[in-house]
Amino acid sequence: MAEAGLAGELESVRVTRILRDDIIFGRRAPGSRLIERDLAAELNVSRLPVREAIRALVGEGVVVARPRTWAVVRQFTHRDIQDFAEVREAIETLMFVFAAERHDEAGIARLRAAYLAELDGATVGDGDAARAAAADFHAIAGELADNDMLSELLGVFFTRLRWLFGQHDDLLAMAEEHRVIFEAMEDRDIERVRALIPRHLALGQAVAARRLISSDYQI
């Protein structure tokens, strides 16, 4: 269902945001077709912004284009998750270490707010809110790392990171992990951050792998 766009938001950006959230939160299942004509009617837009949105989501790695036919929501495999985890561990460990070293008071306050929003969502059973805040926690840490090259690398896989958070069911456990990480970062305890992040990321990989095994769309 179409939603009101943010102030000044381009149609293509709005459509991309809607479709991205639908994929991340499972409202459009892996393997489902993305047909320009149907999406344009559903979202009350022309086919051009839909086409641009699909192209953007292909670039973000969550949609697969099929020439001369419709695009489909990507079906992630165990190999996809493993490849992502290997790259993510190196990049995000560095990201959180830099953020722990370089954050200021305003930055750590933003990180705390993201964790508290995640905890609130998890406590009341609002899965979408909890998962979105969990992704924000990682995104804010990326900003606090204050490294332009690192930010470019993070931008390549951030949508896939949000998809990974969408696989989590134990929202309170995920929030608790972020609390422990937050406290280590607030204390600038670099060695503790280095130890925590690989374990945290390994849990996310395991959760996603289990979902593939139990889901109807496994490959």
pLDDT at site 217? 43
Give tens-digit pLDDT for 36-81.
999 999 999 999 999 999 999 999 989 999 877 789 999 888 888 8
Q: What is the pLDDT of residue 179?
A: 98
What lies within 8 Å, CB to CB, of 212 at 6+ separation is 76, 77, 78, 81, 218, 219
Q: Which domains are seen in the chain, by residue range?
A: 11-73 (1.10.10.10), 78-216 (1.20.120.530)
Residue 103: its pLDDT value, please? 97
Average pLDDT, the chain: 87
| Residue 187: DSSP 8-state | T
- C-alpha–C-alpha distance, residues 165 and 204, integer Å: 7
pLDDT per residue as tens digits for the range 164-204: 777 777 899 999 999 999 999 999 999 999 999 999 888 87
Give the span between the Cα atoms of 101 and 115, in whole angstroms. 19
Structure confidence at residue 215 (pLDDT): 58
How far apart are the C-alpha atoms of 183 and 209, rounded to whole Å?
28
